[in-house]
Structure 1
Amino acid sequence: MSERSGGHESMPGEHSLTETRTTVHVVRHGEVYNPAKILYGRLPDFHLSELGRQMAKADAEALADRDVTHVVASPLERAQETAEPIAAQYGLEIAKDTRLIESSNFFEGKQVSVGDGALRDPRNWWVLRNPVTPSWGEAYIVIAQRMFAALQAARVAAEGHEAVCVSHQLPIWTLRRYVEDKRLWHDPRRRQCGLASITSFRFEGAKVVGIDYREPAAHLVAMSPGARNAKGA
């Protein structure tokens, strides 16, 4: 892990003797009901589909035997609904953290996929001028820093145990690349952050010492072409 993972350098074996071990599971929400196929971003009233609710239950089952003491989610409905079965099985309230929210995007509320024409429209070219920042939305570095702050806050809240944070694809993937000290701009098609996936950050003290990834709902995602190409997540 990079220096961004927090903590301090240590001698081999030091962490296991002196640092508290904590795990923060960062969950992407399940499939959203979106018949208009728009980029919903931060728009309100976008809820989980029936399949999405099944995905949330699959995540809850995957986390059923963990030592979870804290559950926190983005304030958007789809994240709160994904967190519900996880929190319920532990008898926990769901905290809200706005730092876990979806990234802002110029194309929010619009159809922006191959064939929609938005990317070929000259009126949008200025917005698309810089994929590195990116020019069409919240800066990657801003996303990374707020997500890392939320990750550390969840670690503190569950110190010595485990926490669950429910967020969105781009923020989660940006956080992971930030912690791994990789460049933040990337090919969206290569993100390892499927619907209802769980990216787990293992801490010793305040330092991230490992990252694990799994997809408890992969069998459900495979049932829906729309889920595989979810927008605005």
Structure 2
Amino acid sequence: MVASQIHLVRHGEVHNPTRVLYGRLPGFRLSERGELMAAAAADDLAARDRTITRLVASPLQRAQESAAPIASRFGLEIVTDDRIIEPTNHFEGRIMRVALRNPANWPALRNPRKPSWGEPYVSIVARMLDAVRDAWESTETGDAVLVSHQLPIWMVHSSLTGTPLPHDPRQRRCALSSITTFEHRDGAFVEVGYSDPAAPLSAGATDVGAV
């Protein structure tokens, strides 16, 4: 048997008063609003009246904390998978609007199609799809939830829908604590849903963690 559905859940808002691009930097936890967002995602999953039997999360603190209410709601252990972590990023620890004015950083922008400032899009797709496939195959019954980050989730969406991988980061449809759902049909994963349960909490939220 395999999983019925795979839900890719993004983490909630991060406490980031200086508005840096935190990427993989340690110590970035959920804000109080982010905790409410994570709870909203757990509530949304519970309201679907589906059986969720596997919970996987990125090793980063914000993802682990976002997985916690799902673990509590469904009585699950959190399995950590490094493959669904945030991509590497040249601009980690910097404020983007300031960094872009520094000529020393301009070489990192030379090839946005790769992108030259971080992990190649094709690499993100490969590791994310491996993790999704493993979660699907290792879930004997019910659904699997993977708590990850905006760009990795968007790369899965883009790859499976045939959308070009190079893109404007401002155009991603992957809100904080959003849920993107997939099923396996006719030998391939297919996106079957997207929800934004934390939308009522999003006004004024800080979302500048990665490019």
- Aligned-pair identity (%): 50
Give structure 1 stretches of 5+ with no counterpart: 1-18
Match among 150, 158, 164 for residue 177 of structure 1: 158
| 1:93-108 correspondence to structure 2 within 5 Å | 93-108=77-92
The answer as to whether partners of 2:53 and 2:139 remain within 8 angstroms in 1 is yes
Alpha-carbon deviations, 1:161-194, whole Å to 9, x = none? 1010000001110111011122111011110000
| 2:60 counterpart residue number | 76
Aligned residues of 2:38 and 2:66 also touching (Cα < 8 A): yes
- How far 1:36 sits from its partner (Å)? 1.2
Amino acid of the structure 1 residue aligned with 2:56: V
SS in 1 for 2:209: coil
The change in CA–CA distance for 1:202 and 1:71 in structure 2 (over 3 A counts) is same
Native 8 Å contact 1:22 1:159 kept in 2: no
Shift of 1:216: 0.5
Amino acid at match of 1:40: Y
Q: Could you say which structure has the larger radius of gyration?
A: 1
Number of the residue aligned with 2:7: 25
Residues 69 and 161, structure 1, Cα contact 8 Å, conserved in 2: yes
Asked if structure 2 preserves the Cα contact closer than 8 Å seen for 1:56 and 1:83, the reply is yes
After TM superposition, the score normalised by the length of structure 2 is 0.94
Does the 8 Å CA contact 2:2/2:139 hold for their aligned counterparts? no
Contact (CA 8 Å) 1:26, 1:166: kept in 2 or not?
yes
Instruction: Pick the aligned partner of 2:38 from 48, 56, 73.
Output: 56
Superposed, which structure 2 residues align to 1:101-140 within 5 Å? 101-113=85-97, 116=98, 118-140=99-121
Alignment partners' CA distance in 1, 2:43 and 2:23: 27
CA distance in structure 2 between the partners assigned to 1:37 and 1:141 by the alignment: 28
Q: Which runs of 5+ in 2 are unaligned?
A: none
Residues 69 and 206 of structure 1: is their aligned pair in 2 closer, same or farther, counting only changes over 3 Å?
farther
CA distance in 2, matches of 1:230, 1:188: 11
TM-score (normalizing by structure 1): 0.85
Do 2:5 and 2:144's aligned partners in 1 also have CA atoms closer than 8 Å? yes
Aligned residues: 209
